[in-house]
Amino acid sequence: MILVMTTSHDRPVPRDPVTILRPRRGLTRFLETIGARWAGSTAVEELQDTIWRLREITERYRSAIEASGDVILRADANRRIVFANENFTATFGIAETGVLGRSLDRVITDLAVMPPPNLDPWLRSDHVSGALSDRELSTRDGPRWFMGREIEVAERLGDTAVIQVVLRDVTERHAMESELRRARDLAEAASAAKSRFLALASHEIRTPLNGILGMADLLLASGLTSEQATYARAVRTSGAALLSIVDDVLDLGKIEAGRLELQPDDASIEAVVEDVVELLAPRAQARGIELAGYVAADVPRRLIFDTVRLRQVLINLAGNGIKFTERGGVAINATLKARTKEHCVVTFDVTDTGIGIARQDAERIFTEYEQGENGTTRRYAGTGLGLAISRAIVRRMQGELEVQSEFGKGSTFAFSVLMPNPTYPEIVARSDPAELIGRHILIVSPAEIEPPLLVRRVHDFGGTALLVTNPSEARAALSARSYDAMLVDQTGVADAAETLVAIGLDQRPPAAVLVAPSDRGTLELMRHVGFSGYLVKPVRAQSIAKVIFALVEGRPIAADALDVRVPVAPRRLEGRKLKILVADDNPINVLLTRAMLESRGHRVTTAEDGRQAVDVFTAASSDMTFDVVLMDLHMPTLDGYVAIRAIRAANQSPRPLILALTADVTAETERATRAAGADGRLIKPIDADALDALLGEVPSAALRA
């Protein structure tokens, strides 16, 4: 039979039942012709059978739909209603006779709560996927939501297609969905509002803080009595603590908004680690615990990474370590995990011997505002932001920050990050391993954090080192073999002078004492006892080689190699007096910036807004031109960007250095200020060292002339 259809009609056999249900007129006529000609033949009987079977399927399908509770309407080719099921009457309170012969679209439009201009597209717009938006219709029980669907069905063989519309009541689903949508929209709006508020509030807080910190610095430099100095220092310390909280909150906002940008640059890991150790050492020493850092010798000297963000993570982790450790200390290690010529994977771990973290808290503490178990941690200050931010930064660096801890024994926070090699195809090794080749060093110390790291350093420089914990072990070691030099730790529990005396003159190699900065007062005594040098803890990698070398060769030890933590007095740039224009609308900031600059011998002119800045700048006579312009970005009448453009447009020669003054550390702002013509920016609150570094680059107009 199928063969007959195919050959006679030269068209593919329809395969899906719906198409079979809607035979074309041509085919019907053809079948009738065959029927007449082949009456009684088996082929036609088979055909009839097939048609009946298909009809039966359609009937079953139809009754299934009716039983489903859906409203069903049918219309003829002219879209006039020919049938409405019982559900229609039950739902809308309209008898079938009331709609027979009426326009399908009209009837539905009349039922709509908010009649759309044209309902037809609602029903027919998407036949293929059948996905239609819901409509609200007036029912006997009030307005309800319906999903509508229109299909064509065959009413009778040989007839044109009939339109069937199915309306399904989806009020419950609709209500649930719109509730969910509303909740989501609310949550999104609230979160966006919170982020905006945090960003705004933090910026607003930063500005007056800038004033507080700067003024405290000026006060401290102004010859106070010791009591006054104590108070001023307390103001400074509290201000600095507040600033770091504000920065955390700002960071969090940035992370939530997905705006945490990295600024990778060619830099030294060792410098970052030493920086962090140096910065936090006073805090550790004040708590009577150790802090030390170690960068393995095979970590290349320079790699590409974001120094500021790496430093921030290490400060967070080591700062926590110090906070949660009562005895022992904290070690920061950087080791090489893997390397190709182009890249290194460096692992950082920060280990402490503190209170540890209970297993059930180990994941939770990485969530913002979360702290460890409340009972214990309420004793420690904190906001619970540090780890959340650190983890986000590490993730941004494609790494993962994880913790391993034993409750009561200590914790290790570790992460590995991939860093490109800037000197590709070469690899520049970090340290010169030859310096201590063949040297044997004895280290005497009961401490557990720094001495083992010193041993590793000596090995890295090519020497060997033995670590012993007390004088009697030291004596035993010295009688077993000879040593080139000895380092003796002056700690709270062991007195270095006693140790040295106990060892005896005849046995002793040249010795240096390891002291905390607070032990400096004992150095004179140490020299009398027989120490020929000293190292201030935490010891810098380079200092140890220098001191050991000097010891071995009996050379005097250069003070700068050792005493790395002398507070730096503000540098006076003799003979480098610059003419500087400062534009800022905040009078306290102006006062502060002026004081900072004048204390360095520069000449300062100020402007209250961008307009004034441009006027003052252009009015300066040729022998009074400005070397430097410090421009606040947000000012009334003319903002900093416009003012910078205007000053650049004046094309003054020699070209002035223009620095934007901003609290905004984002790369966006950096790009925008550079686009406007600034040479760089100074982040508020202004850091004295950053200022000196930037101004150090400027040849003054007087010198250039």
In angstroms, the Cα distances linking 212 to 147, 225, 242, 597 are: 64, 20, 11, 17
Name which of 132 and 385 has its Cβ closer to ligand ADP.
385
Minimum gap (Å) between residue 249 Cβ and ligand ADP = 12
Which range of residues in 47-55, 91-99, 336-344, 377-385 is near ligand ADP by CB under 6 A? 377-385
**Least distance to ligand ADP, CB of residue 576, Å:** 42
Q: Contacting ligand ADP (CB under 6 A), which of 320, 333, 532, 543?
A: 320
Size of the site for ligand ADP (CB under 6 A): 21
Can residue 386 be called a binding residue for ligand ADP (CB under 6 A)?
A: yes
State both tokens at 528: 């009398």
From candidates 85, 139, 353, 371, binder to ligand ADP by CB under 6 A: 371
Asked if residues 603 and 576 have their Cβ atoms less than 8 Å apart, the reply is: no
Residue 383 binding ligand ADP, by CB under 6 A: yes
Q: Does 382 bind ligand ADP (CB under 6 A)?
A: yes
Q: Which stretch binds ligand ADP (CB under 6 A): 23-31, 141-149, 350-358, 631-639?
A: 350-358
Selected range binding ligand ADP among 199-207, 233-241, 370-378, 424-432, rule: CB under 6 A: 370-378
Q: Please, are residues 677 and 647 in contact by the beta-carbon 8 Å criterion?
A: yes
The contact mask relative to ligand ADP for 608-647 (x = CB under 6 A, - = no) is ----------------------------------------
Stretch that binds ligand ADP, among 364-372, 555-563, 618-626, 690-698 (CB under 6 A): 364-372
Nearer of residues 93 and 288 to ligand ADP, judged by Cβ: 288
Could you tell me how many residues make up the chain?
705
| Buried b or exposed e, range 516-534, using 16+ CB within 10 angstroms | beebeebbeebeebebbbb
Q: Which residues pair with 444 in a beta bridge?
A: 468, 488
Part of the chain binding ligand ADP (CB under 6 A), chosen from 120-128, 289-297, 348-356, 660-668:
348-356
Assign 300 to helix, strand or coil. Answer: coil
Asked, as a colleague might, if the bond just before 425 is cis with ω within 30 of 0, I would say yes
Q: What's the first-to-final CA gap in the chain, in angstroms? A: 107
CA distance 236 to 241: 9
Minimum distance of ligand ADP from residue 270's CB (angstroms) = 23
| Separation of alpha carbons 487 and 512, rounded Å | 5
355 binds ligand ADP (CB under 6 A): yes
Contact 322, 287 (CB under 8 A): yes
**Span near ligand ADP by CB under 6 A; candidates 111-119, 120-128, 381-389, 598-606:** 381-389
Contact (CB, 8 A) for 333 and 293: yes
- Binding of ligand ADP at residue 352 (CB under 6 A)? yes
Per CB under 6 A, the list member of 329, 372, 471, 640 interacting with ligand ADP is: 372
Among 107, 132, 365, 477, binds ligand ADP (CB under 6 A): 365
Task: State which of residues 357, 468, 474, 485 lies at the interface with ligand ADP (CB under 6 A).
Answer: 357
Under 8 Å between Cβ of 317 and 325: no
The alpha carbon of residue 31 and the mean position of all alpha carbons in its chain are separated, in whole angstroms, by 74
Q: Closer CB to ligand ADP, residue 164 or residue 316?
A: 316
State the DSSP code for 120: H
Site of tokens 């860093």: 419
- Residues 171, 173, 174, 176: is their CA dihedral positive or negative? positive
**Which residue lies nearer to ligand ADP by CB, 371 or 586?**
371
> How far is the C-alpha of 44 from the C-alpha of 82, rounded, in Å?
32
**Beta carbon of residue 614, minimum distance to ligand ADP (angstroms, whole number):** 45
Q: How far is the CB of 345 from ligand ADP (least distance, A)?
A: 24
3-state secondary structure of 99: coil
Minimum separation from the CB atom of position 350 to ligand ADP (A)? 8
Handedness of CA 52, 54, 55, 60 (dihedral sign): positive
351 is an interface residue for ligand ADP by CB under 6 A = no
Report the distance separating Cα 504 and Cα 525, nearest Å: 17
Q: C-alpha angle with apex 421: 418 to 422, nearest 5 degrees?
A: 135
Q: Is 321 in the site for ligand ADP (CB under 6 A)?
A: yes
- Mark 669-687 as b/e (b = at least 16 C-beta within 10 Å): bbebbeebbbbebbebbbe
Contact with ligand ADP (CB under 6 A) among 145, 146, 305, 324: 324
Q: Tell me how far, at minimum, the Cβ of 252 lies from ligand ADP, in Å.
A: 11
* 533 near ligand ADP, rule: CB under 6 A: no
Task: Specify the 3-state DSSP secondary structure of 136.
Answer: strand
Token output for 256:
């939530």
Give the Cα separation of 532 and 509 in Å (integer): 10
Say what angle helices 587-598 and 171-220 make with each other, to 10 degrees. Answer: 40
| CB 361 to ligand ADP: min, Å | 7
Name residues whose C-beta falls within 8 Å of residue 347's C-beta, 6 or more positions apart in sequence.
333, 334, 335, 336, 337, 414, 415, 416
**Toward ligand ADP, which CB reaches closer, 320 or 431?**
320
Residue 290 binds to ligand ADP (criterion: CB under 6 A): no
The least CB distance from residue 320 to ligand ADP, in Å, is 3
Q: Residues 387, 394, 580, 582: which binds ligand ADP (CB under 6 A)?
A: 387
DSSP, collapsed to helix, strand or coil, labels residue 379 as coil
Residue 331 or 458: the one with the smaller Cβ distance to ligand ADP is 331
Minimum CB distance to ligand ADP, residue 334 (Å): 18
Interaction between residue 332 and ligand ADP (CB under 6 A): no
Residue 377 is a binding residue for ligand ADP (CB under 6 A): yes
Q: Which stretches within 2-41 are classed as H helix?
A: 2-9, 17-21, 25-37
Q: CA 201 to CA 203: how far, in whole Å?
A: 5
Q: Check: CB of residue 661 under 8 Å from CB of residue 682.
A: yes
305 forms part of the interface with ligand ADP (CB under 6 A):
no
Residue 354 makes contact with ligand ADP by CB under 6 A: yes
Q: Does 328 bind ligand ADP (CB under 6 A)?
A: no
- Does residue number 517 form part of the binding site for ligand ADP (CB under 6 A)? no
The residue whose two tokens read 């050959």 is 7
Residues from 640 through 659 that contact ligand ADP (CB under 6 A): none
What x-and-dash track marks residues 404-443 binding ligand ADP by CB under 6 A? -------x--------------------------------
Q: Interface with ligand ADP by CB under 6 A: which residues?
A: 316, 320-321, 324, 352, 354-357, 365, 371-372, 377, 382-388, 411
